[in-house]
Amino acid sequence: MTTSAVSPPEDRLEPPRPSWPDATGHFGVFGGRFVPEALVAALDELTEAYRAMRVDPAFLAEFAQLQRDYTGRPSPLTEVPRFAEHCGGARVLLKREDLNHTGSHKINNVLGQALLTRRIGKQRVIAETGAGQHGVATATAAALLGLSCTVYMGEEDTRRQALNVARMRLLGAEVVPVTTGSRTLKDAINEAFRDWVTNVETTNYVFGTVAGPHPFPEMVRDFQRVIGDEARAQVLEREGRLPDAVLACVGGGSNAIGIFTAFVPDEGVRLLGLEAGGDGVESGRHAATITGGSPGVLHGARSYLLQDDNGQTVESHSISAGLDYPGVGPEHSHLHDIGRAEYRPVTDAEAMEAFALLCRTEGIIPAIESAHALAGAMRLGRELGPDALLLANLSGRGDKDVETASRWFGLGDAGHVEPGAGMDTDQRPTEGAVSNDEAVAGREAGGAA
Amino acid sequence: MSSHLAEVLAGTKAHGRAALIAYLPVGYPSVEGSIAAMVAAVENGADVVEVGVPYSDPGMDGPVIQQAVDVAVRAGVGMRDVLRAVEAVADAGAVPVVMTYWNPVERYGVDRFAADLAAAGGAGTITPDLIPEEAGPWLAAAEEHDLDRVFLVAPSSTDARLASTTAACRGFVYAASTMGVTGTRATVGDAAERLVGRTRAVAPGLAVCVGLGVSDAAQAAQVAGFADGVIVGSAFVRTVLDADGDVQRGAAAAGRLAAELATGVRDRVPA
Ligand SMILES: Cc1ncc(COP(=O)(O)O)c(C=O)c1O
C-alpha cells in the first residue's frame, strides 16, 4: 500500500477551486460578513494576507513541510472490512485524520492560520473550542511558533472534555471557561469575538471551522481540502475508481468541506453530511442545523441555524461537544440548497452504536463526532447494498471521549473500567449488533451522558 | 421626507449643546419595566432613546448589557414588544430609534419590520452587526418607509470605509469611541475625538454621535465638546439592574441618571 502518488503537490491550495464564494465571501445567498465595523479592517487584512500567502511559494513550501513532518500527512486510508459487515456489505474506506498529530483534522487548518498570524505580525492568537480539538490544535501551533494563546471554551464543555483542557494548559495556553448563555461552543465564539474586537491590534482569531464571517469559511476550506485531495487520489490509485459516496460529520462543517471539496465536481459521487441528531430531531433536542433549522444570520454569516420565532438562537444538544453547535458553515447551506450534498441527522444512540462497533471490530476508538459519519455509513451502506464503495472521514480519535463513552455504556469511571461490563458487542455479522435500545439502556444504567 | 434623527440633532446643535441618547433593552426587568425606564429617561432629558431588541448572541455587548438582555430573551420578548416600546417613547416626546442585531429583523421580515416600525413612530435603526455592504434589502425598505439607517464607524475604519459607510447613513453615524464592546469605562480616550474629526472630514453634512463607555456627566460634557450626540448604554442598564427587578426604583434611577447626563451635554468642554 503506497501513498507516494498522493504526496501533496506544492500548489494544493490552488487545484480547481469551486466557483464560490464570490469576492466578498458569498456562497449563493449564504455567507458574507455580518460583523461590527470594528472588525472589518482586521477581516480585510486577513483576506488580503491570505490571498497573497496562498500563491506564495515560500509559504506553500513551509506549509507542506509542516504537514508532512509535523502533522504526519498524508494521512492513511484504511479499509475496515469487519466494520463494513454491519454496513449492508458495502465496502468502507476511512480517511484517517485521527492519526494526525493532536488527534484530529483541526491541525490542518490551524497550521495555516498560525503561519498567517506570523505573516501579519501578530503575537497572540485566540480560539474557540467545543470538543477541545481545535483548542488543542491552536495551543499546539502557538507553542510551535512561539505565539501566546487564549482559548475560550464553554464551561459545560470544559467538563465534558476535561482531558483536552489539561492538554491545552500543558501546551501553555490559557483556557477561559465561558459561563454565558448555554455555556457551549456558540457562547465560546461570542466571547472570542469580544476578545478580538478589543485586542485586534495584537491578536489574530484562529477560527476553528468553515463558519464565521468572510474570509474564514473560504480560508478554512482551503486549508482543510487536503483531506479530500489526498483521499480522492488514494481511492483512485487503490480502486481505480471513485467512491459512490463520501460521508462526514458536520458540526460547523470543516472536516466535511475538507473531504467534500475535491469531489464536488464529480457529479456521480454522493456527498453526505451527518448532523448531530441528539435525542432525535422531532424531540427538539438536537444540533441538526440544516435538517431542523432555517436560514438566518449567526456569528458573522448568513446560513442555516437553529432559531425561534423571534430570531433567537436555540440551544443545541448533542452527546458530541464538537457537533453541539446551532449553526453551520455557509458553504454547506449552499451545497444543500443547490442539491449537491445531502444532510441527514444521526442520533446520539446511533452514533454511540457505531462508536462501539468500530472499537470492537477494527481496534479504532473514534471521536464521537466522527462516529456520526460511521453511523451514516452503516445506514447508507444498507441502502446501497454490497457493491457500494463508501469513503468516510474519521475526523478524530476518541481519547478525549473515553469518559463520556464509559458513562454511556455503563462501564463505570473512565479510570476504573470493570472487565466485561456493559459494552457487550461481540461482533458477528448480524444486523444491528448493538441495538439502539441496548445503547440507550447502557446510557441509563451509566447515568445521563 | 425627512429624517427625525437629523432634525432633533440639528435642534440641539442650534441650542449649542449635544443630544443625549439613552440605550435601554426592551424586556428588562419586564417589558413594562423597561418602558417605564425609557419614559423616565425621556422625562429627564433624553432626546433620543435607542430601543434595544433583545438578542441571544450580542457579540458587541459587554457583561452589563448581556445580563439584562439574557433575562429578556429567556422571557420570550420579541418585536411586538419592541414596537410597543417605540410607541411609548414617541408618545413621551423623544425620538425612538431601534438598536438591533440583524437576525431578529430578518426573522420578522425586513419589509414588515420597516412598515411596522414606521407605523409605530420609530425613526429608524442602529445596526451593530450589519455593515452597508450587506444591507441592500434594509436600505431599500428604509427608503420606502422613510426611515433612518445608522451604521457604525470605529477607530480601525479606513478613510475609504468612513466615506462609504457615512454615505449609506441617514440620521447620524455612530462613532464607536474605542475598540471593544459596550461597558462603562473610566475615561473616554482620544481615539473618539480623532475618529469624529476623521468622520467629519469625509461627511461634513452628517451628525456624528459617540457611544461606548460614557457613564457620567463629566464624560458626557467632554464628548459633547466634539460630538453631536452622546450615547449612553451600559450606565443606564446598570442603574436598572441595580434596582433588582423593582420597576419604580429602576425607572427613578434611570431618570436621575438622565437628568445628570442632560446637564453634561449642556456643559460642553471645548474640544
Ligand atoms: C474530531 C472532530 N470531528 C468533527 C468536529 C466538528 O467540527 P467540523 O464540523 O468543523 O469538522 C470536531 C470539533 O471539535 C472534532 O473534534
Task: Report pLDDT digits (tens) over A76-101.
Answer: 999 999 999 999 999 999 999 999 99
Residue pLDDT, tens place only, A62-75? 999 999 999 999 99
What angle (nearest 5°) sits at the alpha carbon of residue B188, between those of residues B200 and B218?
105
Q: How confident is the model at residue A14 (pLDDT cuts 50, 70, 90)?
A: low
> In sequence order, which residues have a C-beta less than 8 Å from that of residue A298 and are 6 or more positions away?
A186, A305, A307, A313, A326, A327, B57, B103
Which residue's C-alpha comes closest to atom 7 of ligand 1?
Answer: A251
Q: How confident is the model at residue A443 (pLDDT cuts 50, 70, 90)?
A: very low
Nearest neighbour of B60 by CB, restricted to A36, A186, A313 = A36
> In sequence order, which residues have a C-beta less than 8 Å from that of residue B69 and are 6 or more positions away?
B25, B27, B28, B52, B54, B55, B58, B61
Residue pLDDT, tens place only, A367-399? 999 999 999 999 999 999 999 999 999 999 999
Helix (H, G, I), strand (E, B) or coil at B61: coil
> Is it the case that residue A15 has pLDDT exceeding 90?
no
A93 close to A77: Cβ distance less than 8 angstroms: yes
B212 close to B177: Cβ distance less than 8 angstroms: yes
pLDDT value, residue A180: 87
Residue-by-residue pLDDT tens, chain B, 271 positions: 589 999 999 999 999 999 999 999 999 999 999 999 999 999 999 999 999 999 999 999 999 999 999 999 999 999 999 999 999 999 999 999 999 999 999 999 999 999 999 999 999 999 999 999 999 999 999 999 999 999 999 999 999 999 999 999 999 999 998 888 888 777 777 899 999 999 999 999 999 999 988 999 999 999 999 999 999 999 999 999 999 999 999 999 999 999 999 999 999 888 7
pLDDT value, residue A13: 56
**Ligand 1 midpoint to CA A68 (Å):** 21
Name the maximum alpha-carbon separation found in chain A. Answer: 59
ipTM: 0.96
CB contact under 8 A, B133 and A33: yes
How many angstroms separate the CA of residue B57 from the nearest CA in chain A? 7
How many angstroms separate the CA of residue A330 from the nearest CA in chain B? 15
Rounded distance between C-alpha atoms, residue B145 and residue B149, angstroms: 11
Which residue's C-alpha comes closest to atom 5 of ligand 1?
Answer: A322
Rounded distance between C-alpha atoms, residue A329 and residue A215, angstroms: 12
Q: Ligand 1, closest atom to CA A133?
A: 16
Active site residue A395: yes
Rounded distance between C-alpha atoms, residue B18 and residue B3, angstroms: 17
Rounded distance between C-alpha atoms, residue A386 and residue A242, angstroms: 16
Q: Does B56 touch chain A (CB under 8 A)?
A: yes
Q: Does A23 touch chain B (CB under 8 A)?
A: no
Residue range A333-337: average pLDDT? 98
Residue range A299-305: average pLDDT? 98
Q: Does B127 touch chain A (CB under 8 A)?
A: no
The pTM score is 0.93
- Transcribe A23-41 into DSSP letters: TTSEETTEE-----HHHHH
Rounded distance between C-alpha atoms, residue A327 and residue A250, angstroms: 10
CB contact under 8 A, B106 and A297: yes
Rounded distance between C-alpha atoms, residue A386 and residue A369, angstroms: 26
A 133-172 residues inside an 8 A Cβ radius of B: none
Rounded distance between C-alpha atoms, residue A210 and residue A224, angstroms: 9
Q: Does B156 touch chain A (CB under 8 A)?
A: yes
DSSP A8: P
* Per-residue cell: A438: 441496548
Q: How confident is the model at residue A430 (pLDDT cuts 50, 70, 90)?
A: very low
Q: Does A41 touch chain B (CB under 8 A)?
A: yes
Helix or strand (DSSP H, E) at B20? strand B19-25
Size of interface A-B (CB pairs under 8 A): 112
User: How many Å separate Cα B263 from the centre of its chain?
Assistant: 19
Mutate which of A395, A399, A400, A404 for ligand 1? The one with the most ligand atoms within 8 Å of its CB, which is A395
Determine how many CB atoms are found less than 10 A away from the CB of residue B75: 15
**Ligand 1 midpoint to CA A247 (Å):** 13
**Ligand 1 midpoint to CA A130 (Å):** 8
Least confident of A11-25, A60-74, A192-206, A237-251: A11-25
What angle (nearest 5°) sits at the alpha carbon of residue A224, between those of residues A222 and A226?
90
Regarding the beta carbon of A327 and ligand 1, being less than 6 Å apart is answered no
Provide the Cα torsion B111, B112, B116, B122; round to 10°.
-40
Rounded distance between C-alpha atoms, residue A386 and residue A388, angstroms: 6
Helix (H, G, I), strand (E, B) or coil at A358: helix
Q: What share of chain A is helix, strand, coil (3-state, %, to 5)?
A: 45, 20, 35
pLDDT value, residue A427: 40
| Residue A434 φ then ψ, to 5° | -110, 105
Active site residue A106: yes
CB contact under 8 A, A34 and B134: yes
Helix (H, G, I), strand (E, B) or coil at B126: strand
Q: Does A52 touch chain B (CB under 8 A)?
A: no
CB contact under 8 A, A40 and B156: yes
Helix (H, G, I), strand (E, B) or coil at A285: coil
B24 close to B88: Cβ distance less than 8 angstroms: no
Of residues A75, A95, A104, A106, which has the active-site annotation? A106
How many angstroms separate the CA of residue B43 from the nearest CA in chain A? 30
B 158-197 residues inside an 8 A Cβ radius of A: 158, 161, 165, 176, 179-181
Rounded distance between C-alpha atoms, residue A317 and residue A111, angstroms: 30
What angle (nearest 5°) sits at the alpha carbon of residue B207, between those of residues B25 and B61?
30
A110 close to A125: Cβ distance less than 8 angstroms: no
pLDDT value, residue A414: 54
Question: Which residues are paired to A390 by β-bridges?
Answer: A92, A245
Helix or strand (DSSP H, E) at B186? none
Helix or strand (DSSP H, E) at A304? strand A301-305
CB contact under 8 A, B156 and A198: no
**Ligand 1 midpoint to CA A211 (Å):** 12
pLDDT value, residue A360: 98
| Neighboring chain A residues of B180 at a CB cutoff of 8 Å | 38, 197-198
